Amino acid sequence: MLEWNGEGGKTYFYQSEYPYDVDHDYADSGSASYKVGDNVKTHEAWGVGVYSFFEYNEVNMESSIKAPSNEGVKFHNSLSVFLNGYGSIRHIVNEEGGGV
């Protein structure tokens, strides 16, 4: 998974899948597929997609993308997709956006 800690970062396409074979405790780790560091003031991303296929265990991730909530950090056309399996992704960015 990705963690971006630099200022002024730009991502134009990002696609990832959570690991298939994790147990339900994986959601408690607080991880996200795409994370912008808490101290970052400017970052912008387009086309960030995060997919889940928790094959063996029910894993319910809170958010697929986590980032500071300030006007310099922006996401465009981000999505989460449930491919198959068990569990869910409850939100897309910072506990906002519909779940899958």
Instruction: Show me where the domains of the chain are located.
Output: 10-87
Amino acid at 99: G
Amino acid at 91: H
Q: Which residues pair with 43 in a beta bridge?
A: 9, 73
Query: What are the pLDDT digits (tens) for 56-78?
Result: 999 999 999 999 999 999 999 99
Please name the residue ranges forming H helices in 52-98: none
Q: Is 7 a catalytic residue?
A: no
Q: In which band, very low, low, confident or very high, does the pLDDT at 100 lie, cut at 50, 70 and 90?
A: low
Report how far residue 10's alpha carbon sits from residue 72's, in angstroms, rounded to the nearest whole number.
12
Mean pLDDT, residues 8-16 = 97
What pLDDT is stored for residue 70 in this prediction? 93
User: How much is the pTM?
Assistant: 0.90
Annotated catalytic residue, options 17, 58, 95, 96 = 17
Query: What are the pLDDT digits (tens) for 25-56?
Result: 999 988 899 999 999 999 999 999 999 999 99
